[in-house]
Amino acid sequence: MDDRKKSASTLKDVANAAGVSLGTASKVLAGAASVSEARQRQVWEAARKLGYRRNSLAAELRSCRSTSIGFVVPDLTNSFFIELVCALEDHALESGYRLILAHAQEDPEREAERIRFVLSRQVAGMIIIPCHGYEHAISELRECDVPLVMADRVDNSFPANTVTTDSHRAAMDGTAHLIALGHRRITFIVNALDLVNSRERAQGYQDAMQRAGLAQHANVVVCGMSDTESHATTLGVLAARERPTALFTGANVATLGALRAIRDAGLQLPDDISLLSFDDAPWMSVLRPGISSIRQPAEAIARGIWHLLHKQLQGESPEIVHLRMRADLRVRDSTGPVRNGEWGEAARAAAARPL
Amino acid sequence: MDDRKKSASTLKDVANAAGVSLGTASKVLAGAASVSEARQRQVWEAARKLGYRRNSLAAELRSCRSTSIGFVVPDLTNSFFIELVCALEDHALESGYRLILAHAQEDPEREAERIRFVLSRQVAGMIIIPCHGYEHAISELRECDVPLVMADRVDNSFPANTVTTDSHRAAMDGTAHLIALGHRRITFIVNALDLVNSRERAQGYQDAMQRAGLAQHANVVVCGMSDTESHATTLGVLAARERPTALFTGANVATLGALRAIRDAGLQLPDDISLLSFDDAPWMSVLRPGISSIRQPAEAIARGIWHLLHKQLQGESPEIVHLRMRADLRVRDSTGPVRNGEWGEAARAAAARPL
DNA sequence: CTGAAAGCGCTAACAC
DNA sequence: GTGTTAGCGCTTTCAG
């Protein structure tokens, strides 16, 4: 709360100082060529001298056009989302738009508020990566025909343009990698099953296990949305009488918690246990052992999002498109062959069976 | 660019539907008690039915007050800044404000643009963590009396409220830790010396070396603002004939690059070389070896920033305040005693000398 | 308590 | 080319 009318000079001031009319000043500052060079100079000079700064609230209100795009992100702590932010900022800038970032902090209520906030600022378009339990938040968008692209945590049933990773397939690939290494007791640790993509990841894992005849070993554990929860959960998993030989973490938080738990349990990666992480991060390739991960194609996703949004901004294509991207496996050092000593006969037999 | 006048219902629509005047509707929606309950109900009902959403551009334009705070951040890739973002969002929300995040991506030009953008949206206040070479960007703020707090990459000479970490002291502490472990050949790797805080950190390191009689071993290496640069730089450092026994990285990027270089060089942490990182990150405590680091008190800094900003928002205290926070050392596993075999006689003698 | 009316700073017709 | 004018959607006096 603060009125600062004291100093801010307005277009009127500039026009007066330049000795032209308000309309002319407006045109000049908007870059119109239809004003004589002499006056253009006068106006620019006056603006400079007065330290004039356009009030874009007024400009946008009057013209009913905005060059801002609202981007609602659930978690700035996740480097995948940050990559998206950076890439999208570049795309937006290139097309003459600006991003207004809104951070939901994985809280559906806050997300709803963020959406309301962004919408009330009359953005030209929106990009949303929802939190879990976002139905309520999304209902903020009803009866609102802002160009919209949803990403990552949505599926193809969503009645809007979406860009997602094929999580099911990626999780199958990851699981197959682990199985090929001889692992049978593979536990999948996931943040929350009410996130569509996490559910897909878990499903991909289960399908891969089943396809390998390992359905009886399939074990999906939900670890929550925080480090501490996932740490505690993984500690529990590791303390089981039949400890898994491999962990597949289905999300950023899960990986952090699992890693800390593995460390606390005094286990070595990959000799005592293997770990595969869904979602890559810069630090994963920097230490020894490097963490094997599934990397989502952030750049491609951002490009897809912007493509879909931009088309709408230009008034094109009202039909809904669902883009689906392929993630790839980055095998590093945290996934290794299972230790023979740990295999029972049944596991050995299963290993012999073709996948 | 998009006019969507088609559906968006305005306050006038609501007033008409509720059968009251525009002014009354405005008052009700603003929460005024001075309207009869019956009419209040009517207005709310009409607003609900029409899916009314306030146009805050218009509201703020008219009332000359905003509840948005611009926060210009140089690098969302750095978890320290992310911590600041999260904490500040909470503070702002608690006081009824909202953050508008603007990402400068370590680019002074983009930073200038971001500042202009935020300012043109008539924010009530600003928080800025500058990039290097920010002088130009900052000049955007001239003749502009928005409440302002600068943080992190500024020093006490800045003519505005600032909140910073005592980098000099923290770097001295870190260096002393390394020296106490017997290290003599300690190299300080820093992103850029035109960042005030990096400069302070380097200075702290040098002062500590000097104080320990190790001035001849002091070596500050600049590694640039990107992973790849810092990786290459560190590789060079490690290839020197007299390889340092410890690295002290003065920034986030430097740590990442150094770690990758150490890995590529086939060196073990901390047996072959020790590493201390200025700036902590969640992943540093999750793997083995844990990375010893200097942790800036992000929460306290955020609190300080908000405190200073909030005072200004309430029109208090025009005198400038400089808050300075203390960082602490988190000793983990990446810093260990120097290997005896590597010591020459001179080093041995230096080690015997009290610090 | 309620409505009418005057703008916030700016853009976009529209006349001259 | 240039100035005048009518609002964008809203808040806020100010009469009644």
- Which pLDDT tens digits describe chain A residue by residue (355 residues)? 333 334 689 999 999 999 999 999 999 999 988 899 999 999 999 999 999 999 999 999 999 999 999 999 999 999 999 999 999 999 999 999 999 999 999 999 999 999 999 999 999 999 999 999 888 888 888 888 899 999 999 988 899 999 999 999 999 999 999 999 999 999 999 999 999 999 999 999 999 999 999 999 999 999 999 999 999 999 999 999 999 999 999 999 999 999 999 999 999 999 999 999 999 999 999 999 999 999 999 999 999 999 999 999 998 877 999 999 999 999 999 999 998 654 444 444 554 444 4
- From the Cβ of B12, is strand D under 7 Å away? yes
| Residue B143 binned pLDDT confidence (cut-offs 50, 70, 90) | confident
The answer to whether residue B224 sits within a structural domain is: yes
Measured between CA atoms, the residue of chain A closest to residue B50 is A143
User: Given this model, what pLDDT does residue A340 score?
Assistant: 62
Do residue A195 and residue A73 come from a single domain? no
Q: Pick out the nucleotide with least CA–C1' distance to B10.
A: D9
pLDDT (mean) for B80-101: 98
B115 Cβ under 8 Å from any chain A Cβ: no
User: Given this model, what pLDDT does residue B340 score?
Assistant: 62
The answer to whether residue A259 sits within a structural domain is: yes
User: Given this model, what pLDDT does residue B325 score?
Assistant: 98
A286 CB neighbours in chain B (<8 A) are 256, 259-260, 263
The answer to whether residue B62 sits within a structural domain is: no
- From the Cβ of A32, is strand C under 7 Å away? no
Question: What is the SS3 assignment for A276?
Answer: strand
pLDDT (mean) for B95-102: 97
B13 CB neighbours in chain A (<8 A) are none
Sheet architecture: strand order including A274-278: A219-222, A186-190, A246-249, A274-278, A292-295, A328-330
Domain count, chain A: 3
User: Given this model, what pLDDT does residue A7 score?
Assistant: 61
Do residue A161 and residue A302 come from a single domain? yes
pLDDT above 90 coverage of chain B, percent: 85
Do residue A90 and residue A43 come from a single domain? no
Do residue B146 and residue B211 come from a single domain? no
* Strand D nucleotides with an atom less than 7 Å from a protein beta carbon: 1-5, 7-13
Q: Are B274 and B183 in contact (CB under 8 A)?
A: yes
The answer to whether residue A200 sits within a structural domain is: yes
Do residue A137 and residue A172 come from a single domain? no
Do residue B272 and residue B306 come from a single domain? no
User: Given this model, what pLDDT does residue B87 score?
Assistant: 98
pLDDT digits (tens, 9 = 90+) for B236-286: 999 999 999 999 999 999 999 999 999 999 999 999 999 999 999 999 999
Helix B167-180 and helix B196-211, axial crossing angle in degrees, nearest 10: 40
B30 Cβ under 8 Å from any chain A Cβ: no
The answer to whether residue A239 sits within a structural domain is: yes
Measured between CA atoms, the residue of chain A closest to residue B139 is A51
Mark yes or no for CB contact A227/B77 under 8 Å: no
Do residue B156 and residue B176 come from a single domain? no
- From the Cβ of B59, is strand D under 7 Å away? yes
Phi/psi at B37 (5° precision): -55, -40
Do residue A132 and residue A188 come from a single domain? no
The answer to whether residue B4 sits within a structural domain is: no
- From the Cβ of B64, is strand C under 7 Å away? yes
Q: Note down the domain range covering B305.
A: 67-165+298-327
User: Given this model, what pLDDT does residue B7 score?
Assistant: 61
Of the candidates A352, A337, A347, A305, the one whose C-alpha atom is nearest the C-alpha of residue A324 is A305
> Which residues in 18-47 of chain B line strand C, with CB less than 7 A from it?
20-24, 27, 34-36, 38-39
The answer to whether residue B61 sits within a structural domain is: no
pLDDT (mean) for B130-151: 90
- From the Cβ of B121, is strand C under 7 Å away? no
Helix A22-29 and helix A37-50, axial crossing angle in degrees, nearest 10: 90
Do residue B312 and residue B256 come from a single domain? no
First to last CA, chain B: 65
Two tokens, residue A180: 């090929």
A286 Cβ under 8 Å from any chain B Cβ: yes
Do residue B38 and residue B148 come from a single domain? no
The answer to whether residue A47 sits within a structural domain is: yes
Mark yes or no for CB contact B53/A286 under 8 Å: no
Q: 10 Å Cβ neighbour count for B354?
A: 5
Do residue A285 and residue A226 come from a single domain? yes
Residue B16 pLDDT exceeds 60: yes
User: Given this model, what pLDDT does residue B136 score?
Assistant: 85
